[in-house]
Amino acid sequence: MPEVRSDDALRGLIATHSDGIAACRVLCIVPVAYVHISMGEGDTLVGAAMQGVLRDLLGRSSVLLLSVVSGLLMVRVFSSRSWGAAAWGRVQGLLVPMVVWNGFALATMYALRRPMPQDLVNAVFAVTNHGVTRPLTFLRDLFLISLATPLLVLAIRRLRLWVLLPLVLMGGFVSTKPWLAHSQILSYFSLGVGFGVLQLERLRLVGFVGRLAPWLLAGLVLVSAARPLTGDALALIDTNAFDALVRRPVCASSFWVLAMRVSEHEPSRRFIRTWLEPAIFAMFLSHALVLRGLRGLTLSMGIDAPAARLAVWIVLPFVSLAAAVLLQQLLRRGPDILYRLLLGKARP
């Protein structure tokens, strides 16, 4: 049974892995953009294979690793502040930007005379359903689960793996709607809290999974690329059980290993810390709007060849990242209140 981690040891763990956490944020958020943009890239077999890997495998699975990181960090946040102060920090950091960017999306739809959602409360605040900018509902889920951090810490500290393992497993099979739109966030956030409370990295199984995961991911890449070519032969990979027990854990573990490797390379570490990590939350908040605009611009240029549409689809998330870097740099030169409203934290 893993030992309980002290507060000093937790601070040391986070400090030691701070560069890896920064790389993790970038590596996990960029692939998400493939889920929220379509250029007809799947019209050819090559395009369908690329779609299976970039969208269905990496794009849909990578972001949940951020829930693990959030769970780890929230253990420190809630242990060093009162519950009210920590919760208010989550309101400012997660809910305020979500509401502001949902408001931007609605204003854009109104200006372009697009059909407006009937339920404006959910469209803006994502109370019981997805907001108008669907990816941002993840922030609402992260906010709600973070409020339970002290309860999760208490339960895991007392019962250890007896409570952690059921929490990790239930997220893939138990629906948490309407409270949490993404049920698996419960599993991954709880796992992050588990790493904050217990010395899980000392378990042999954790080390074994870390070594094996990149090889399993390589296999998943091949299977995901082949899925459009095989019909029902690989239908197993579309099941909820496979997604919860294989695809997402393997992707999360592999992205963590990759983030650690990238952070050990000094030029990459410096580039990520200086340019990409400060802007990556801006990309998450803005990518749906930016990609929608880029898609309309691209289609207006008359790009019809399947190979060209596939190439554009592959490149667009990186264009969105570049736009986020530019936005963050511009906001740094503006008033602090604008930075707080749009990006949820004080201007650096």
**Together in a domain, 55 and 76:** no
For 303, the domain range is: 1-62+214-348
Specify whether the backbone of 99 is left (phi greater than 0), alpha (psi in -120 to 50) or beta.
alpha
Evaluate if residue 1 carries a pLDDT over 90: no
pLDDT for residue 5:
96
Q: Tell me the average pLDDT across 9-34.
A: 96
135 is a domain residue: yes
pLDDT for residue 304:
83
**Together in a domain, 36 and 148:** no
**Together in a domain, 53 and 94:** no
Cβ atoms < 10 Å from Cβ of 4: 13
Give me 53's structure tokens.
């890997």
Q: Tell me the average pLDDT across 44-72.
A: 93
pLDDT for residue 137:
97
Q: What's the pLDDT tens digit per position in 118-134?
A: 999 999 999 999 999 99
Contacts of 159-163 with CB under 8 Å at 24 or more apart are 160/1, 160/2, 160/4, 160/198, 161/1, 161/2, 161/198
**Together in a domain, 58 and 70:** no
Evaluate if residue 302 carries a pLDDT over 90: no
* Matching residue, tokens 């829930």: 67
Question: DSSP letters along 120-132, please?
Answer: HHHHHH-SSS--S
Question: Taking a C-beta distance cutoff of 8 angstroms, is the pair 55, 36 a contact?
Answer: no
Evaluate if residue 57 carries a pLDDT over 80: yes
**Together in a domain, 43 and 161:** no
pLDDT for residue 175:
86
User: Mean pLDDT, the chain, as a whole number?
Assistant: 94
Rounded-to-integer distance, Cα 153 and Cα 160, Å: 9
Q: What's the pLDDT tens digit per position in 183-226?
A: 899 999 999 999 999 999 999 989 999 999 999 999 999 999 99
pLDDT for residue 344:
97
Evaluate if residue 237 carries a pLDDT over 90: no
**Together in a domain, 158 and 245:** no
Q: Tell me the average pLDDT across 285-290.
A: 97
pLDDT for residue 299:
85
pLDDT for residue 330:
97
Measured on CA atoms in the order 253, 259, 261, 264, is the torsion positive or negative?
negative
207 is a domain residue: no
11 is a domain residue: yes
**Together in a domain, 73 and 166:** yes
Question: pLDDT-based confidence at 63, cuts 50/70/90?
Answer: confident
pLDDT for residue 289:
96
**Together in a domain, 257 and 282:** yes
280 is a domain residue: yes
Question: Radius of gyration (Cα) for the chain, nearest Å?
Answer: 20
pLDDT for residue 337:
97
Evaluate if residue 232 carries a pLDDT over 80: no
% the chain with pLDDT above 90: 82
Buried b (16+ CB within 10 A) or exposed e, 164-201: beebbebbbeeebeeebbbbbbbbbbbbbbbbbbbebe
**Together in a domain, 98 and 166:** yes
Residue type, 274: T
Domains contained in the chain, number? 2
75 is a domain residue: yes
pLDDT for residue 338:
97
Give me 336's structure tokens.
């602090």
- Where is the domain boundary, 182, 202, 222? 202
219 is a domain residue: yes
Residue type, 150: P
269 is a domain residue: yes
pLDDT for residue 143:
97
**Together in a domain, 47 and 70:** no
Q: Tell me the average pLDDT across 213-242.
A: 86
Question: DSSP letters along 298-337, please?
Answer: HHHTT---HHHHHHHHHHHHHHHHHHHHHHHHHHHTS-HH
Rounded-to-integer distance, Cα 10 and Cα 26, Å: 23
pLDDT for residue 55:
95
154 is a domain residue: yes
Give me 286's structure tokens.
């803005």
**Together in a domain, 69 and 197:** yes
- Where is the domain boundary, 202, 223, 241? 202
Rounded-to-integer distance, Cα 181 and Cα 327, Å: 29
Evaluate if residue 172 carries a pLDDT over 80: no
**Together in a domain, 42 and 94:** no
pLDDT for residue 16:
95
- Where is the domain boundary, 202, 227, 260? 202
